[in-house]
Each structure stands twice: as structure tokens, then as C-alpha cells.
Amino acid sequence: MREVNFHNAIEETGLENNKDRILLLGNGFSISYGDSKLAYANLFEKAKQLSLFEGDQFIRAKQLLEEVCSCDFELAMEKIEQALKVYEVLGIYGLYGVKIQQMKNDATELKNVLIQVIQKTHPEQLNEDDKYSSCANFLKKFKEIYTLNYDLLLYWVIAKHLTSIFFDGFGFFNEPIWPSNNISKQNIFYLHGGLAFFNFSSYIKKLTNSVCGNILTKFDESILRGDIPIIVTGGNAQEKLKHIFSNNYLNYCYSKLKNHSDANNLFIFGFAFKDCDRHIIEAIQHRKFQRIYISYFENNEAWKNKVNDKLGNNESQVCFFKAEDACIWSNLND
């Protein structure tokens, strides 16, 4: 375990060559942008803080989230959809007519809560070109990007500056679906999904900005239509991994992190190494990187030692750098 300056770390892994570096982004990436709205990790907890579950009409939906679905909105919406199909069949025989309407009402309330919490926690399209260009310069230092964030910040930066460098595996123009014919070129992976991704039976669709509206507006419209977003929003590591394995896109992204890349160096920014993300830690351990560079916001030696114990025994040299030295959102990143 050693301390290193971020720019020295880039130099010792090949200053002008990004082929030997990949990047993993945690929630600290979004938080470091500086907008307090992006400082959230669990939509369910945020919804409770905002009192969005107040009222008798939310009792069942809240109970479903807490007791059955590990506080995961996507899983709760899927459970209701599956149950409705069963109850509708039973309804043919004159059973459970009232229950069907109750479930439909709960599904509507659940969608409304999800829309409200996204609206209250996510900023509108950001237009600070200096921050965008600085972040783009930072991202260009890496061959592949893996992110645990489901907000739109990274999506916006790449769409504005890096579409010729990073490809998310979706088709272009009027068919932004996954998998596409160019999936072999995919080099950015949303490990826990994203607000722009929606699950359909045989493919994943991505929302894009257009003359018809921005992504957040389209997100609201898609939820109200009954479309299911791909967002891993809660649960422990085992529950998150189960969710990942149940979705082709998430499973593909996770398998890439765990198994596929010839890069020897992993840079990690804004990842806290919590037990609820143990599945990510295990994927890192499985890859056996030569060197792992990890950012920190506060110089906590106990935390560093704990992280080193998790990763350093796996034939990997663990290095730490100050998060501020990466200058992701400032113009000092050139």
C-alpha cells in the first residue's frame, strides 16, 4: 500500500496511452460535481425523507418495497406486474376483482413516488461547459469506464464531448436499443443501470434528448406508460447481484468488469467499499489487476487499511490518491 499523486499514477501507467487503464466510478463521482441534488444513494430512503409515502394510499406500496423488494423500485414494479397477470387470470373465474384494482392503484402510486423522487433529487440538464470539458479530459485517460451511478451526469458529459471515444453498446439514431450490431465496441458499462435505460422483453431501450423533450421528461412519460426502468436502487450485495443476473444488460456489464479486459491498472474514484457493494469488490478481486489506484476524500488510515486488506492480498499493488488531485470538474485536468 502506498500513497501517490494522481498525475504521477497516470504517468507510471503510460501517460499518453490509455490502453492499460480502466476506470470504476462510485457515487463520489457525482457528489464531487458539487450539486447537492446528486448526493443520494438510495431512492427509497430519499422518498421517505421527502415524506412522499405519507397517506393511507401508500401503505401497501411502502410495505412491498421494505419487506419484499429490498427497497428497490424496479423490483417492486416488476412484482406488481407479475402478480397482476396472475390475478387477471383468476379474475376470469370471478376471483379477486377487488384485489386487481388495489394492485393497479398501488402500481400507480409507486410510479408517482418514483417520478417525484427523481424530480426532487436530480438536476435538470447541466450547461456548465467548463466542467463538462474538464471531466471529458479526465475520462479520456481511460480505455473503459464502469460506473455505479444511475444519474445522468456521466451520460451528459459523454454525449456532449466523447461520443467518438466511448460507446455504450446501444444503436444509433432512431434505434437506441441494446444489444446492437456494434456491441463489441462497447467500452462504457452502467453496472447498476441508469435513468435512461428501460427494459423490454427482448431488448433494452435508451432514452435520448430530442426535439420531443429531454430525458427526464421522457423518463416520467415512460414510467406512467408502465415501462420498467433499469435501476438497481437498494438491497444488500446478494440482492443487488440477483437483480443484476436477472437482466441481460446488467449481467453483461458485470461480467465485463469481472472477466474481460487486458488492462493491468484499475483506477477507482468515489467508491466507499461498503458491504452492500461486496459484489463489486469480488469482481475486482477476481480480475487480479497489477495495480489498483483508489481515491479518498478524507485521509482515514483505518479505512485505507481495510480496503488494502480486501484487495492487497490478491496479487495487486494498492495505491491511494487524493480525490481532489484528479481535478475532475475543474480546468486543471489537462
Within 10 angstroms of residue 296's Cβ, the number of other Cβ atoms is: 19
**How far is the first Cα of the chain from the last one, in angstroms, to the nearest whole number?**
27
Task: Work out the burial of residue 183: count CB atoms within 10 Å of its CB; fewer than 13 is exposed, 13-18 middle, 19 or more buried.
Answer: middle
pLDDT tens digits, one per residue of 241-259: 988 999 999 999 999 999 8
Q: At what angle do helices 59-67 and 73-92 cross, to 10 degrees?
A: 120
- Give the distance, in angstroms, between the CA of residue 79 and the centroid of all CA atoms in the same chain: 21
Note the pLDDT of residue 295. Answer: 97
Read off the C-alpha cell for 329.
470538474
Note the pLDDT of residue 95. Answer: 56
Note the pLDDT of residue 314. Answer: 64
Domain with CATH 3.40.50 in the chain: 2-35+125-326
pLDDT tens digits, one per residue of 298-327: 888 999 999 998 887 667 899 999 999 999
Note the pLDDT of residue 125. Answer: 67
Rounded to two decimals, the pTM is 0.83
Q: Give the three-state DSSP class for 38.
A: helix
Specify whether domain 2-35+125-326 bears CATH 3.40.50: yes
Residue 127: pLDDT band with limits 50, 70, 90 = low
Dist CA 244 CA 251 (whole Å): 5
pLDDT tens digits, one per residue of 41-88: 567 888 888 788 887 767 887 888 788 777 777 677 777 777 777 776
pLDDT tens digits, one per residue of 220-249: 888 888 888 898 876 678 888 988 999 999
For residues 54 and 328, the model is more confident at 328
* Alpha helical stretches, state H, 122-172: 129-139, 153-161
Q: Is the pLDDT of residue 143 over 60?
A: yes
Q: Is the pLDDT of residue 40 over 60?
A: no
Read off the C-alpha cell for 101.
384494482
pLDDT tens digits, one per residue of 172-183: 766 688 988 888
Residue 116: pLDDT band with limits 50, 70, 90 = confident
Q: Average pLDDT in the 260-283 region?
A: 89
- Tell me the percentage of the chain whose pLDDT exceeds 90: 34
